[in-house]
Amino acid sequence: MSAEISNQLLELPLVISAEKCSGGTYIVTGANTGLGLEAAKHLVAVGAAKVILGVRNVPAGEAAKNRIIQDTGITGTAEVWALDLSSYDSVKAFAKKAIAELDRIDAVIENAAVATGQGKAEEHNLCMTVNVYSTILLALLLLPKLKENAKRFGTTPHIAIVSSGAAFDLRDKWSEIRDDPLVKADDPDIGLVSYPLSKLVEIFVVRELAKLLPVSETGVVLNLVNPGLCKTELSRNAPPEFQKQLADMHAKFGRTAEVGSRTLLHGAVGGNGSHGSYLSDCEVADYKLPSWITDEEGKKDQELVWNSLAKELEVVSPGSVNVIL
């Protein structure tokens, strides 16, 4: 267990406000529970015009919507849309609907994730498909609309991708697989390492994408959010032994889901200075990134990872990569 977890703050500022968010449209994935639900609830409470709850389980999403209405007293803002990140077709359908039906998008909070060492989807390890391939695909598919919105409305749309400091514990593992990480991530014996590995790959990819897509050209901010150790259901698919260990850590050091959601909201309004950055405790925290991620070798790794990912995503959705770069 890292010192950062054992010493993490249990209270964080709420950085959104009616002044920043009133009238805006927000997408929150994985919004039926935990961090996503709490973030969506805050956005509704401060006067967002529309908050899209992107969920795999639609009945659970409707229950979350009802809870938001009950807790905020505000109806007509939250909408439940189907989004299954284990399916590329679902991701493409969701993006197509958002582009067609939403007049504007002020921020996309990509919170949905799985933590499991088992399962496959779209011919990859389930963790990698959900947390990396589909998450980045959704960002790329929505990016052209966000770019257009930035020009039309004079806003700075954000894409906040929820990552994790757990990635920092993988230096030795990364050394073993860094020559072909996306292929080796699909090793059936990789086990629970697949979750922190997926978050490490996210960090490399977002840092490379931010370099390729400067705010000065796109008008869109892309950042990474570390919510810290939070009391959520993320580990519900993990082995019982791991769940017990995590429950003990939650009891001692865990943030509530509401406090953790404040980090996601910071990512959604973090400003130009957060572009390409790792955010933690509601601040830009690139200083927390290990040197092996940020040094010259790390920059080569991030370029290699992005190029490998981009090739597949361009096949999955032709034009999704080439049209934006």
Alpha-carbon dihedral sign for residues 214, 215, 219, 221 = positive
Give the separation between CA 193 and CA 173, rounded to whole angstroms: 9
Is residue 282 within 8 Å of residue 266, measured between CB atoms? yes
Identified catalytic residue from 41, 145, 199, 231: 199
Helix (H, G, I), strand (E, B) or coil at 168: helix
Is residue 64 within 8 Å of residue 77, measured between CB atoms? no
Alpha-carbon dihedral sign for residues 68, 263, 2, 195 = positive
Give the separation between CA 96 and CA 77, rounded to whole angstroms: 20
Provide the 10 A C-beta neighbour count for residue 76. 9
> Is 291 an active-site residue?
no
Q: Which long-range contacts (CB under 8 A, 24 or more apart) does 181-189 make?
A: 181/301, 181/304, 181/305, 181/308, 182/128, 182/305, 182/308, 182/309, 182/312, 185/124, 185/125, 185/128, 186/124, 186/125, 186/128
Give the separation between CA 170 and CA 294, rounded to whole angstroms: 14
Identified catalytic residue from 134, 163, 280, 320: 163
Give the separation between CA 40 and CA 26, rounded to whole angstroms: 8
Nearest to 158 by CA among 25, 321, 317: 25
> Is 164 an active-site residue?
no
DSSP string, 224-253: EEE--SB-SSGGGGS-HHHHHHHHHHHHHH
Roughly what angle, to the nearest 10 degrees, separates helices 194-212 and 134-153?
30
Identified catalytic residue from 26, 195, 278, 280: 195
Is residue 275 within 8 Å of residue 223, measured between CB atoms? yes
> Is 287 an active-site residue?
no
Residues catalogued as catalytic: 163, 195, 199
